[in-house]
Amino acid sequence: MKNSLKLIGILIVGFGLCVGLFFLLATIFVQSMYVRGVASLFILAVILIAQFFTRKNLQLMIIVTFIAVIWGTFLDGWGNDLYNKPLEWLFSSQGKLLIGQYVYNYAPGEFSIINNLTLIKADGSEQSVSVFFLYLYRFFQYLIQYMISGHLIHYLWKRFFQKQEPLIIYTRDDNDPTLLKAVVADLSNQNPQKKE
């Protein structure tokens, strides 16, 4: 009876935490449309957690990372000041680049988000820049950023936390070619020891 009550209590608390987490994430996502940089941090945190949980399988991590790149490209077209600096430097010879995001609430519960790139030239004239360029820039930015973070997590996990299996090398015996000798390679000091 105690085990059943304990299990029910754990399920209720777990369900409550899941519902609370869902509303927290929904609030963060809705607010990210109005506050620059919140979506970037939210997406980065989700991707780092996903990469950490897929760290043992590099192929799965690459698939998760590629899905995250597509997801991040379209959810965070607005970016933040740090992510937008290279884009501003790219256009700095022609003028000042303004990145805007407009949220139109045209019905209760329905909205559309429009990103806008405007280049303000030295003479004060404005020129519209294709939003396709912004999404292409975001795609490659997130691809490079998430691939570096994924490979770094994978490398650090393998290097410091994963137990290394001994390397066993089989060699032929000089006296009897049909007999194999097993040698365990000691990778720490590079001196192989014979296995008995």
What does the alpha-carbon distance between residue 6 and residue 63 come to, in Å, rounded to a whole number? Answer: 38
Query: What mean pLDDT is predicted for residues 56-64?
Result: 82
Residues 135, 47, 143: CA angle, nearest 5 degrees:
40
CB of 133 closer than 8 Å to CB of 109: no
pLDDT tens, residue by residue, 7-16: 788 888 878 8
Query: What mean pLDDT is predicted for residues 30-37?
Result: 63
List all residues 6 or more positions away from 189 whose beta carbon is below 8 Å from its beta carbon: none
CB of 76 closer than 8 Å to CB of 139: no
pLDDT tens, residue by residue, 148-157: 988 888 888 8
In this prediction, residue 196 has a pLDDT band, given cuts at 50, 70 and 90, of: very low
Residue 145: count other Cβ atoms within 10 Å of its Cβ.
17
Of 55-59, 100-104, 175-179, the one with minimum mean pLDDT is 175-179
CB of 61 closer than 8 Å to CB of 67: no
pLDDT for the residue 173: 67
Identify the CA nearest to 46 among candidates 148, 140, 155, 146. Answer: 146
Helices (H) and strands (E) counted in the chain, each on its own, are: 5, 6
62: DSSP letter? H
Query: What mean pLDDT is predicted for residues 66-89?
Result: 81
Check whether 33 has a pLDDT greater than 70. Answer: no
Q: Estimate the crossing angle of helix 131-156 against helix 81-91, to 10 degrees.
A: 130
In this prediction, residue 79 has a pLDDT band, given cuts at 50, 70 and 90, of: confident
pLDDT tens, residue by residue, 177-195: 666 666 665 555 544 455 4
